[in-house]
């Protein structure tokens, strides 16, 4: 299953590079079904984690009670149950001030969608509006459907995998029909992304010397980062990263006795010759000439 699942109890430490934890779906054994369903309590504490994290799997949540806020990709949704939520692999989310949270959690990998591969596109669309409103009629239908998923999963009778896939397909299709709940901070999401980018780039971290690395750290796509930063600054993230690398190289050349090779490594260049070409292109002089005068 391409590294998307792990045995139960496998720890998920934060990566050494400071990026966000990436949780994988826990399954009983390597050939187990890449699917799980339960309550917030039976799925465990990670189902309502208060720290930003990502998954290698899809998560659908049906919130029937509780208060608090669900944050997905920096946008904030206040809880006013009933709600349906969809979080795609790689999206960043967490819960804030969640109290008396109740409902169901459905977890599955892309591999589980083999009977209905088009559902991947529906889920990607849902991930762009991950918090859905349910009126009484829709909530009754969704509650009944999720109860069927619970029962099939619990009983594990002959053919239950096929039934689970069919019921999940119906759930995804019906989710796509539901209206979205307005996100409290959705209008400023791009601004929040640009602000976080500015904060990170001001730190001049050696691991973050590409626009893609910043997008990964923030938890958005490279394309979205480019749109947000361009709207806020008029410049691209790549341009700003080049400026940050150049500024840091200048600082090290003037303020330290590090060699050009050492400085190149500090600003993310494995090849000192390439660093020299980069520096000349950005400043008009070589690192040695800049240091001398």
Q: Give residue 186's pLDDT.
A: 42
CATH 2.60.120.280-classified regions of the chain: 5-177
Determine if the pTM surpasses 0.75.
no
Q: What are the pLDDT digits (tens) for 181-192? A: 876 544 456 777
Q: Write out the two tokens for 199.
A: 């904060």
Q: Give residue 243's pLDDT.
A: 87
Q: What are the pLDDT digits (tens) for 141-182? A: 999 999 999 999 999 999 999 999 999 999 999 999 999 887
pLDDT at 73 over 80: no
pLDDT at 2 over 70: no
Strand partners, 126: none
Q: Write out the two tokens for 33.
A: 């079904």
Instruction: Among 30-34, 92-96, 193-197, 239-243, name the one with the lowest average pLDDT.
Output: 30-34
CATH 1.10.10.60-classified regions of the chain: 186-292
Please, which residues have CB within 8 angstroms of residue 100's CB and are 6 or more apart in sequence? 65, 66, 67
Fold (CATH) for 5-177: Jelly Rolls (2.60.120)
Residue 180, phi then psi, degrees to nearest 5: -85, 155
Q: What is the mean pLDDT of the chain?
A: 86
Please tell me the distance from the alpha carbon of residue 35 to that of residue 39, in angstroms, as a whole number. 14
3-state secondary structure of 44: coil
- Euclidean distance between the first and the last CA atom of the chain, given in angstroms as a whole number: 57
Contact 229, 240 (CB under 8 A): yes
Q: What are the pLDDT digits (tens) for 102-116? A: 999 999 999 899 889
Helix (H) or strand (E) holding 65: strand 58-72
Domain 186-292 has CATH 1.10.10.60: yes
């Amino acid at each position: 299953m391409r590294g998307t699942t792990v045995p139960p109890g496998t720890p998920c430490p934060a990566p050494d590079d400071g990026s966000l934890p990436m949780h994988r779906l826990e399954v009983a054994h390597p050939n187990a079904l890449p699917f799980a369903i339960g309550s917030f309590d039976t799925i465990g504490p990670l189902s309502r984690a208060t720290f930003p994290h990502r998954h290698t799997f899809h998560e659908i949540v049906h919130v029937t009670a509780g208060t608090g806020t669900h944050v997905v990709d920096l946008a904030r949704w206040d809880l006013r149950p009933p709600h349906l939520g969809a979080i795609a692999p790689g999206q960043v989310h967490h819960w804030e001030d969640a109290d008396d949270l109740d409902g169901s959690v459905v977890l599955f990998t892309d591999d589980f969608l083999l009977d209905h591969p088009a559902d991947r596109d529906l889920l990607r669309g849902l991930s762009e509006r991950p918090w859905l409103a349910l009126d009484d009629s829709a909530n009754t239908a969704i509650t009944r459907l999720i109860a069927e998923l619970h029962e099939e999963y619990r009983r594990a009778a002959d053919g239950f995998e096929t039934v689970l896939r069919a019921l999940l397909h119906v759930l995804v299709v019906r989710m796509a029909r539901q209206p979205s709940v307005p996100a409290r901070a959705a209008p400023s999401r791009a601004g929040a992304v640009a602000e976080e980018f500015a904060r990170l780039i001001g730190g001049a971290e050696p691991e973050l010397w590409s626009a893609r690395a910043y997008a990964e750290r923030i938890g958005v796509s490279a394309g979205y980062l480019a749109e947000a930063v361009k709207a806020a600054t008029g410049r691209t993230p790549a341009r700003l990263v080049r400026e940050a690398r150049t500024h840091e190289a200048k600082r090290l050349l003037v303020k330290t006795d590090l060699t050009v090779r050492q400085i190149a490594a500090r600003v993310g260049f494995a090849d000192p010759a390439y660093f020299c070409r980069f520096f000349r292109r950005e400043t008009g002089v070589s690192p040695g000439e800049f240091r001398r005068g």
